[in-house]
Amino acid sequence: MINAATTPIRKIIHQSHHSYLCTLLMCAAVLASNIALGHGTAQTPAGPNDRTIDFPDTKEYKTLVVDLHTHSVFSDGHVWPKIRVDEALKDGLDGLAITEHLEYQPHRADLLNPDRNRAYIEAASAAEGSTLMVIRGSEITREAPAGHINAIFIEDANKLLKVKNPPTDKSDVLGYYTAANQWPSQNAVQAAHNQGAFIFWNHPDWTRQAPDGIARINDFHAQNAKNGILNGIEIANGDYYSEEAFAIALEYDLAIIGVSDVHDLIDWDYKPHEGGHRPVTLVLAKDKSIAALKEGLFAKRTVVWTRNTLMGRAPDLIPILQASLSTSKLTYRPDTSVAIVTLSNNSDMNMQLRYTGAHSLLLGPDRITVPEHGEYELHVKPGKVVDTLDLPFVVENALTAPGQNPSIVLSSQR
Ligand SMILES: [Zn+2]
Ligand SMILES: [Zn+2]
């Protein structure tokens, strides 16, 4: 792989007519300037890219694909922020937030810069000139009942943390965490809210804080939701999916959020080259900008895509399904009244449909899969030649509420 630092050096070696020593000196100068400039911008993925997460825009909105919860070495992740940006570009994301734990920094002893905005600054500079929008955020990290809370679109991460008497030994990670936890969680959340942050409750079903794996609302989050301070809740985090969190989102009128919460590599955790994908949030936005993304999130126009399943409120989810699926012209098998309609899927999700129409199918069964960016040919028996055929389906890998699959009707004309 060619990285930003080697390209100019190579150019000089090939083009220079100076002496060997001179070339060496120039190389050293270029190398020095590259080091001084920092870590370089992220690379555009090379070659064919079939891992891009792709959902069509709806009639009314742009469908932005975002991951609002990730980590780097600035808290307990294991990669530099630029790698998060590279992965996001490979996945074709529109938006990325690196949300470091404020109170928990296992690599503290190795971090010289105390500025908690560093991960954002590094990622934003790596994403410069690319299609990726980097959003400034942090993870407020407490024990239950507050648990972990992400605040994004913040202005300054340093103001969300107050640590009295931190341990002098920088390797005392737990001591620092304990000292940082003395500042009341409500103060931290209020400080983020004062910066205009969009705030969401992370992994409320995390078994370390909810040993039965059941997300339950508590006074802390219920009050903040009621007061407009808590704006969203993760229903999908990594491999976790919480039905209870989905129900809480609907009951407390919170945005539905799905995230990777990646600490290592997306490639290792989700195997995109084998057809896997990270959980993402689809935000229905008026345009592709940070302001429109923020507006869409506060308006709760979100749909989660996790493990090849779409979840969201019907008014947000159904337009995405309708934009994804289309029908061909209605034709007939020669000399019969058996109708042929080709269903096309314009999205990244393998659509698992159950046909519920009155007319039966010639080619069974009634459960079909329209593959991602693919087609399925349906043969229907209306009994006579008709000019219009309405085809009702239940989308079995989509949910508008826990256990509730949406229905859509696709129409085909002669
Ligand atoms: Zn967390
Ligand atoms: Zn996290």
Residue 265 has pLDDT above 60, yes or no: yes
> Is 285 found in the same domain as 217?
yes
> Is 357 found in the same domain as 297?
no
Ligand 1: centre distance to CA 200 (Å): 11
User: pLDDT tens across 371-391, in order?
Assistant: 999 999 999 999 999 999 999
Within-domain flag for 312: no
Within-domain flag for 49: no
Give percent of the chain with pLDDT exceeding 90: 86
Separation of alpha carbons 331 and 84, rounded Å = 48
Token match 């792709």: residue?
54
Separation of alpha carbons 88 and 272, rounded Å = 12
Dihedral angle of Cα 128, 86, 72, 96, to the nearest 10 degrees: 60
Residue 5 has pLDDT above 70, yes or no: no
User: By residue range, what is the domain housing residue 33?
Assistant: 6-37
Averaged pLDDT of the chain: 90
State residue 122's pLDDT score: 98
Within-domain flag for 48: no
> Is 87 found in the same domain as 12?
no
State residue 21's pLDDT score: 40
Ligand 2: centre distance to CA 260 (Å): 9
State residue 363's pLDDT score: 87
Alpha carbon 108 to chain centroid, angstroms: 27
User: pLDDT tens across 269-303, in order?
Assistant: 999 988 899 999 999 999 999 999 999 999 999 99
Q: For residue 281, list its beta bridge partners.
A: 66, 304
> Is 206 found in the same domain as 116?
yes
> Is 180 found in the same domain as 138?
yes
Ligand 2: centre distance to CA 336 (Å): 59
State residue 131's pLDDT score: 96
One-character DSSP codes across 146-193: T-EEEEES-S-GGGG---SS--SSTT-HHHHHHHHTTS-HHHHHHHHH
> Is 161 found in the same domain as 123?
yes
Q: Which residues contact 206 (CB under 8 A, 6 or more apart)?
A: 147, 148, 237, 240
State residue 194's pLDDT score: 98
Residue 25 has pLDDT above 80, yes or no: no
Ligand 2: centre distance to CA 350 (Å): 28
Residues with Cβ–ion distance below 5 A, ligand 2: 139, 261
Within-domain flag for 403: yes
Global pTM value: 0.88
How many domains would you assign to the chain? 3
Residue 45 has pLDDT above 70, yes or no: no
Give the domain CATH number at 399: 2.60.40
One-character DSSP codes across 202-233: --TT-TTTSTTS-----HHHHHHHHTT---EE
State residue 249's pLDDT score: 98
User: pLDDT tens across 242-258, in order?
Assistant: 999 999 999 999 999 99
Ligand 1: centre distance to CA 148 (Å): 5
Give the domain CATH number at 185: 3.20.20.140
> Is 70 found in the same domain as 24?
no
Residue 48 has pLDDT above 60, yes or no: no
> Is 254 found in the same domain as 110?
yes
Ligand 1: centre distance to CA 233 (Å): 12
